[in-house]
């Protein structure tokens, strides 16, 4: 029987984004505060996922051995280091989160049966790498606060209460939504980036956070005048708004995850978006999920 196991490791390191072939102004325009001469640091969290058969001892691998491999190959050389200088891979390609995840895979692959490397630079920014050349995933987290009411206009108050419970109360209620947007792309051989992070964060701020924050979704966002603003439908709406702008940045929208509360969340994959948008064109049929 096959099983995936995951091992967490920690290290702290600094890095700097700077390309000598660019002027100081060009570097600052591209990398912002990350160009500071002394660099900056992060407490990185690394998750190493491995696939294998369960042995007669009920293990895929001996985790003590896994721990030693990760320590020897990754965390020991990286901990309290300046990433630009610690490994030769970063002499030509900057140590971005996504590129660092790729290089860690390369260091561990000869020793462990890897299926995914997930690297958190901080809780709102992380990368996933699955061993597919220069392809990687980058996830950015953000948040907004909004109110909504769950009810179909064609139903009575009593009927809506049967479907949505307290969420159908006429004056609505609010949430502090946490949003995670994952994009997919090819890591650039020079910058180490699969997408311009500053530009991506601006797209999220301009198209999602600013328009939705501190609104009553049913009344302030025209899309939700007829479409019930469940977490699922909000995620579909956000994904549909972001898909083309992210393509224009040279990447591809992979997933939108919306966390409505610690107990409720949903995920929308861009590959399914066309089908879902078609379904949502008939509100009374498709938009009753909670």
Element (H, E) at 248: helix 231-248
Looking at the predicted structure, is the pLDDT value of residue 113 above 90? Answer: yes
Looking at the predicted structure, is the pLDDT value of residue 112 above 60? Answer: yes
Q: Residues 98, 101, 107, 112: is their CA dihedral positive or negative?
A: negative
Boundaries of CATH 3.30.479.10 in the chain? 1-131, 134-290
| Distance between CA atoms of residues 255 and 258, nearest Å | 10
Measured CA distances, 181 to 100, 140, 166, 263, 268 (Å): 20, 5, 29, 19, 10
> Is CATH 3.30.450.20 the right assignment for the domain spanning 1-131?
no
Average per-residue pLDDT for the chain? 93
Q: Work out the end-to-end distance of the chain between its first and last CA atoms, rounded to an integer number of angstroms.
A: 36
Residue-wise pLDDT for 73-107, tens only, equals 999 999 999 999 999 999 999 999 999 999 999 99
Closest alpha carbon to 221 in 210, 212, 208, 234: 212
**Structure-block tokens of residue 65:** 């051995």
Mean pLDDT confidence for 123-141:
98
Grade residue 276 by pLDDT with cuts at 50, 70 and 90: low
Beta-bridged to residue 37, according to DSSP, are none
CB 44 within 8 A of CB 82: no
CA 95 from centroid of its chain's CA atoms = 18
Residue-wise pLDDT for 25-59, tens only, equals 999 988 988 999 999 999 999 999 999 999 999 99
How high is the pLDDT of residue 107?
Answer: 98
pTM of the model: 0.91
* Burial of 38 from C-beta contacts in 10 A (0-12 / 13-18 / 19+): exposed
Q: What secondary structure letter does DSSP report for 206? A: I
CATH architecture of 134-290: 2-Layer Sandwich (3.30)
How high is the pLDDT of residue 30?
Answer: 87
| Distance between CA atoms of residues 39 and 29, nearest Å | 16
Looking at the predicted structure, is the pLDDT value of residue 186 above 90? Answer: yes
Active-site positions read 167, 214, 260
Grade residue 275 by pLDDT with cuts at 50, 70 and 90: low
């Amino acid at each position: 029987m096959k099983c995936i196991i995951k091992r967490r490791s920690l290290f702290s390191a600094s890095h700097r984004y700077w390309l000598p072939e660019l002027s100081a102004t060009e570097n600052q325009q591209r990398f912002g505060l990350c160009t500071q001469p002394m660099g900056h640091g992060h407490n990185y969290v690394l998750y190493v996922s491995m696939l294998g058969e369960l042995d007669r001892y009920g293990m895929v691998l001996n985790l003590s051995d896994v721990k030693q491999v990760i320590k020897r190959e990754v965390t020991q050389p990286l901990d309290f280091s300046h990433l630009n200088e610690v490994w030769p891979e970063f002499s030509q390609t900057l140590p971005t989160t996504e590129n660092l995840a790729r290089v860690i895979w390369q260091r561990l692959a000869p020793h462990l049966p890897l299926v995914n490397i997930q690297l958190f630079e901080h809780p709102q920014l992380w990368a996933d790498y699955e061993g597919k050349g220069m392809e990687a995933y980058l996830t950015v987290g953000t948040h907004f606060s909004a109110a909504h009411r769950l009810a179909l206009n064609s139903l009575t108050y009593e009927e809506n209460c049967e479907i949505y419970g307290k969420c159908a109360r006429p004056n609505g209620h609010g949430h502090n939504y946490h949003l995670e947007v994952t994009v997919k792309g090819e890591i650039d051989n020079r910058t180490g980036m699969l997408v311009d992070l500053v530009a991506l964060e601006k797209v999220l701020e301009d198209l999602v956070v600013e328009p939705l924050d501190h609104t009553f979704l049913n009344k302030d966002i025209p899309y939700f005048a007829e479409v019930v603003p469940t977490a699922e439908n909000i995620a579909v709406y956000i994904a549909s708004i972001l898909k083309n702008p992210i393509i224009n940045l040279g990447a591809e929208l992979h997933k939108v995850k919306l966390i409505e509360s610690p107990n409720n969340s949903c995920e929308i994959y861009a590959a399914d978006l066309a089908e879902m948008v078609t379904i949502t064109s008939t509100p009374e049929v498709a938009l009753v999920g909670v």
